[in-house]
Amino acid sequence: MSTVKKLTISALCLALCCVLPTAFHAFGLGAAFSPIHLPVLLCGMVCGPVYGALCGVLGPILSCLLTSMPGAAMLPSMIPELLAYGLFTGLFMMFIRTGRTAADLYLSLLPAMLLGRVVGGIAKALFLLGSPDGYSISLWASAFLVQTLPGAILDLIAIPVLILALTRANLLPARYGADAQR
């Protein structure tokens, strides 16, 4: 894929980092669905690890500046998590080659989502290091696994469907010859 196309898709994903949270929060669904995750994961999968990581850093900063969501206080723990999502989905997509696009998508998405949540938890723990309340594994599990489960399910459904649909429409390059039709 050309650099111009990667930049264009990355710019679209950055715009979605601002628009999706606004839309989801308008209906009270922002906290449960973590809508900023979707464009960052998508960018990493489609454009690669560098563009995905940049989207993970710039997306929440732009969204904070333009929409005040997330709040500035959330950025120190959110940015590492989103950077990890974009980076790892891109890396896994580069190296995982099963011969089936759908399998590659899920085998890249699942571990990247888990690693992003681990990185986010570590960032949060470091951020709260001197706090009198502290941070525990149970707080991490609640915040990064349980409360965001609806968003994780949305990501696992929407991203592969979107990538496969865009590939079938010839808007993204096919990963494998005949597999683009599956």
Burial of 136: CB neighbours in 10 Å, binned 0-12, 13-18, 19+: exposed
Confidence of residue 49 (pLDDT cuts 50, 70, 90): very high
Confidence of residue 182 (pLDDT cuts 50, 70, 90): very low
Which structural domain, as residue segments, surrounds residue 153? 3-181
What digits encode the pLDDT tens for the residues 65-118?
A: 999 989 998 899 899 999 999 999 999 999 999 999 999 999 999 999 999 999
Number of domains in the chain: 1
DSSP conformational letter for 145: I
- Res 11: pLDDT: 97
Whole-angstrom distance, CA of residue 144 vs CA of residue 95: 26
**Residue 63 CB neighbour total at 10 angstroms:** 25
- Res 126: pLDDT: 83
Q: Tokens standing for 127?
A: 């951020």
Whole-angstrom distance, CA of residue 16 vs CA of residue 82: 14
Residue, of 34 and 43, whose pLDDT is higher = 43
What digits encode the pLDDT tens for the residues 119-175?
A: 988 888 887 777 767 667 777 777 677 788 899 999 999 999 999 999 999 999 999
CATH number at residue 163: 1.10.1760.20
- Res 178: pLDDT: 57
The position carrying tokens 């995982």 is 96
**Residue 128 CB neighbour total at 10 angstroms:** 15
Q: Which residues contact 74 (CB under 8 A, 6 or more apart)?
A: 60
